[in-house]
Chain A
Amino acid sequence: MSAFDFAEIAEFLLAEARRKGASAADVVVVEGDSLAVGVRLGKIEKVQRSTTRHLGLRAFAGKSSAITSSADFSRGSLQTLAAESVALARATATDEFSGLPEASEVAAVIPDLELYDPAIAEISAEAAVQWCRDAEAAAMDADPRITNSEGGEFASGTHRVFYAASNGFSGGYQTSSCSLSAVPVATDNGSMERDYWYSARRRLADLDSAESIGRRAAERALRRLGSRKPATSSVPVIFDPDMAASLVGHIAGAVSGGALYRGMSFLQGKLGAQLAPEFVSIVDAGNLVGALGSKPFDAEGLATRRTAVIAGGVLTNYLFDTYSARKLGFRSTANAARSVADSPGVSPTNLYLEAGDTAPADIIRSVRSGLLVTELMGFGVNPVTGDYSRGASGLWIESGEIAYPVSEITIAGNLLDMMRDIEAVGSDLEMRRSICAPTVKISRMTVAGS
């Protein structure tokens, strides 16, 4: 279905909602095609193709609203959808902050952020199978201790999004994405360890080579073999880039307008405070060309932009959608996101900790005895207090050198203390996901082991 058809459907639904008594409304239509291929031990394990489309209507009855969604695009179904949405909106409570953004706030032009690669729609299952085979084979061939595999996987998809609202906004965009991963299993002296590596991009040509993904996955699985459980202690802890990204993710949750007005953020009331050393800056940028978290406009039609969340260690901005911004007396930062079946909430776009100037190797060299975290497990983060306690595994550092792997340990602290105690930020930032970070060193955390 073309964007023109989507526009027609959206106009029809908005008119129906108005006819049924809605004071305002918006419609989002999402359509996607996807392919997933898996190879294990050289043989095809799965090939999966999906096509889905779904639309959601949000109707306002004055200052109250409700959402209905369906995969049935027939005219009769759309009429029922509109009627039910309006009826449901009348049943919810009046909320003075509810409503669409003003017409003056929505994006006037929709920039092409190069989020769509036509090559991705043309990928054949055969080609994908070969990439999976190559990635897995590179892992299996890396070392005789790689004895088994959960396989190589390729996934790709194209999505078309269309959004229209009664404030006059109407527009759409296309995106594509693809990823390739390998999950080898290493065995030695009865211990068995699995690890993975992957590459994910908007454009097919930008994916890392299958060989490099497989080799990296094998290295990661091998270095876990023969792990020890260190004694419980308080030591410096280094987070590798993917693990440091998870810390940025916790900060994203805490600066979200939704968490703030609910009283569920450990960063409430901290705007303007020096939370971290001067060399720490965190940016949300939804308008980066070709990036995985980019989109030309947010779920309420506002043009995405760059927002400095932490600049020079100071908390400079929270992230908002229209509702949470109005409620707390701010302006939306164009961070509204929604699924077709749910009302908008706040979500980061591309959120990253800016690169520092220390080489990651130098950060490791700076530790006399401590931990390099390469994996975190579980959900032990309290967003209200910032209390942090998670399962971990990684590499123990002795005298500035990686000494041996460690596992079955936990690391604990409080996110506010952890931000304050950031001692170094690496130069190794790579935009390989929508939330990312370079290597980060925290001067002290509790490591629980034996």
Chain B
Amino acid sequence: MSSSITGSLEPRRFFLDRFSLDDRALEDTIGNTIARSADFADLYFEFRSSESFSLEEGIVKKASKNISEGAGVRVVAGDTYGCAHTDDLSIETLRLAGRTARAIAEEGGSANSVSVRLTEPQHDLYSLAHHPLDVPLDDKIGLLSRIDVAARRRDPRITNVMVGLGIEQKIILIVNSDGTVVGDVQPLIRMSVTCIAEENGIRQQGTSGGGGRVDFDFLTDNDRFLRWVYTAADQALLNLGAGDAPAGNMTVVLGPGWPGVLLHEAVGHGLEGDFNRKQTSAFSGRIGQRVASELCTVVDDGTLANRRGSLNCDDEGTPTRRTVLIEDGVLRGYLQDRMNARLMGVQPTGNGRRESFGHAPMPRMTNTFLLAGESAPEDIIRSVDSGLYAANFGGGQVDITSGKFVFSATEAYVIEGGRITRPVKGATLIGNGPDALTRVSMVGHDLALDEGVGTCGKDGQSVPVGVGMPTIKIDSMTVGGTQA
């Protein structure tokens, strides 16, 4: 077990050295994996080193360092794929995995001759001078302790503070049967802060956090961590005095930033290529149709510097890009990996992602957000006679086929007579994807991306993503409070 690998790390050299391979071995493996009748094959090498620290009750109780490594071999023929994953990276195992993948894709035929060539990634979105894994242990532990102190100083009613810090570096190398070899080094930091507040026997919690593909100083620049600490503490304190949430259909205003999880659930998943190729999405066959009000333009953009959801290339080696999903309310495009793009006769969009070498790639989001409109956020609130203002959310979920989606507010207020009046307990909001955005009647000019904590789950695979949104007003949505 070594710690991080930094500096001018070159993924191809790294894997060749670590597993005593050479270009011939890669050519031999990929050539033997792809049969003439298959569409393509790929090898995916991954080396992931990570650390995590957690603080509770004022002390750093847990620390861990982990290393995982392995390779995935895949053969794609039409809409069938075979793949084999192993964490034993010898040339013999790779050959065996390649044969297994080929056999299970039901493809025979003789080996293809492939000559590999290194392709430089098109983006350089997150190369770091100092990898956070290399920051001295004391600095990391020291920061967690500062957070604990800051949260408790915020208010004496804060009775417990939990802080988690996760740091990882993933080195990947993708060898495609067309001979391209693409590597990437992907740093990632995630910090989470949870505060428990207590008063008169009532307890409440608040959670915040942030991160990205950034260096360690990002956490402390301009006391950024303090913003998360205060957000978590204030949310817990606010909820101590929150009343019951209303129930039923009403006008809902969503705040900027993380509430963009609405887009992720309401439209993002439904626009992933696999569901649309199979015609099982509520958005299937609707390209060119109106699915949102004309105020709505939604994009997925994997090329934003240092963002949690960004990638230089996806896990199939395709460069990431900005894909317009909905333009002025009209459905424009889907998110594609190589297999689904090929089957639908379109170009891949750089959205083929996998959790690890042990999982197969599929179309996934990167950073998904709604572009800014023209309204002032305060005008949006003022326009609502009676409704709910949801400033922050936990997670969400969607049924791709029916289009029904939910997401749960963790900080919400009642709007009465154009003014935010009192806090209410979190409630789940439910809507229908192709319908919800048609009711967007105002879009703010205050576009914000989230702080960098999002993780998306699909078919048992988790990947880091980003979301974003300006303040928006939805004329009618079902709010799941208890006050009928």
Contacts and interface: CB of A to CB of B under 8 A. Distances in A.
Interface of A: 40, 43-54, 56, 65-72, 77, 80-81, 84-85, 88-89, 91-95, 98, 125, 148, 150, 185, 191-194, 224, 229, 232-234, 262-264, 268, 341-343, 375, 377-380, 382-385, 387, 389-391, 393, 407-414, 446, 448-450
Given A51-B88, A80-B1, A391-B397, A410 B427 contact: yes
Contacts of B298: none
Interface of B: 1-2, 52, 56, 59-70, 79-88, 100, 104-106, 137-138, 141, 159-160, 162, 196, 198, 202-205, 245, 247-249, 278-280, 282, 358, 360, 394-402, 404-408, 425-432, 478-484
Contact of A384 (B203, B358, B428): B203
A262 B161 CA distance: 9
A393 B404 contact: yes
Nearest to B274: A150
A179 to B, nearest CB: 12
Contacts of B81: 45-47
A389 B82 contact: no
In the A-B complex, the 5 residue pairs with the closest CB atoms: A410-B480, A391-B406, A93-B59, A47-B104, A378-B406
Contacts of A150: 278, 280
Contacts of A91: 60, 63, 137-138, 141
A72 B68 CA distance: 8
A131 to B, nearest CB: 16
Contacts of B88: 51
A52 B87 contact: yes
A88 B85 contact: no
A48 B360 contact: yes
Contact of B64 (A66, A77, A391): A66
Contacts of B86: 50-52
B358 A448 contact: no
B425 A262 contact: no
A48 B137 contact: no
11 contacts: A46-B80, A52-B358, A84-B1, A148-B278, A224-B402, A229-B478, A341-B64, A378-B407, A379-B394, A389-B408, A389-B426
Contacts of B56: 262
A329 to B, nearest CB: 16
Contacts of B248: 232, 448-450
B1 to A, nearest CB: 5
A343 B64 contact: yes
Contacts of A233: 484
B80 A45 contact: yes
A380 B427 contact: yes
A81 B64 CA distance: 11
A390 B245 CA distance: 13
Interface-centre pick from B62, B141, B399, B480 (highest chain A CB count, 10 A):
B480
Q: Is the interface of A mostly helix, strand, loop or mixed?
A: strand
Contact of B67 (A72, A89, A92, A343): A72
A49 B84 contact: yes
Given A185-B401, A384-B204, A410-B427, 4 more contacts: A46-B83, A66-B62, A385-B204, A410-B479
B390 to A, nearest CB: 12
B198 to A, nearest CB: 7
B65 A84 contact: yes
Contact of B401 (A69, A194, A232): A194
Contact of B404 (A98, A391, A412, A414): A391
B480 A390 contact: yes
Q: Which of A65, A150, A446, A450 has the most CB of B within 10 A?
A: A446
A185 B63 contact: no
B162 A262 contact: yes
A194 B59 CA distance: 48
Contacts of A262: 56, 160, 162, 196
Nearest to B393: A379
Contacts of A450: 248-249, 478
A342 B64 contact: yes
A46 B360 contact: yes
Contacts of B483: 446
Nearest to B160: A263
A132 to B, nearest CB: 13
A95 B247 CA distance: 45
A412 B106 contact: no
Contacts of A77: 1
B82 A47 contact: yes
Given A50-B85, A52-B85, A410-B427, A380 B63 contact: no
Contact of A232 (B64, B68, B141, B484): B484
Nearest to A147: B279
Nearest to A323: B61
A56 B50 CA distance: 13
B204 A68 contact: no
Nearest to B75: A47
Given A92-B61, A194-B401, A412-B481, A391 B84 contact: no
B480 A380 contact: yes
B397 A377 contact: yes
A71 B84 contact: no
A224 B399 CA distance: 13
B480 A43 contact: no
Given A51-B87, A148-B280, A193-B402, A68 B358 contact: no
B87 A410 contact: no
A69 to B, nearest CB: 4
A87 to B, nearest CB: 8
B395 A43 contact: no
A92 B160 contact: no
Contacts of A191: 402
B367 to A, nearest CB: 21
Contacts of B67: 69-72
A54 B66 CA distance: 10
A94 B59 CA distance: 8
A68 B65 contact: yes
B106 A44 contact: yes
A45 B78 CA distance: 9
B427 A148 contact: no
A49 B71 CA distance: 12
A95 B61 contact: yes
A47 B204 contact: no
Given A66-B63, A263-B196, A384-B205, A448 B85 contact: no
A407 B402 contact: yes
B406 A70 contact: no
Nearest to B427: A389
Contacts of B80: 43-46
Contacts of B429: 410
Contacts of A49: 83-85, 100, 104
A282 B176 CA distance: 53
Contacts of B408: 378-380, 389
B66 A69 contact: yes
Contacts of A385: 202-204, 425
A441 B136 CA distance: 55
Contacts of A378: 395-397, 406-408, 428, 430
Contacts of B63: 66-67, 88-89, 91-92
Contacts of B104: 47-49, 125
A308 to B, nearest CB: 26
Contacts of A81: 1
Contact of A341 (B66, B249, B406): B66
Contacts of A89: 63
Contacts of A185: 280, 401
Contacts of A50: 84-86, 358
A408 B476 CA distance: 13
A81 B3 CA distance: 11
B205 A382 contact: yes
Contacts of A446: 247, 480-484
A232 B137 CA distance: 54
A219 B282 CA distance: 20
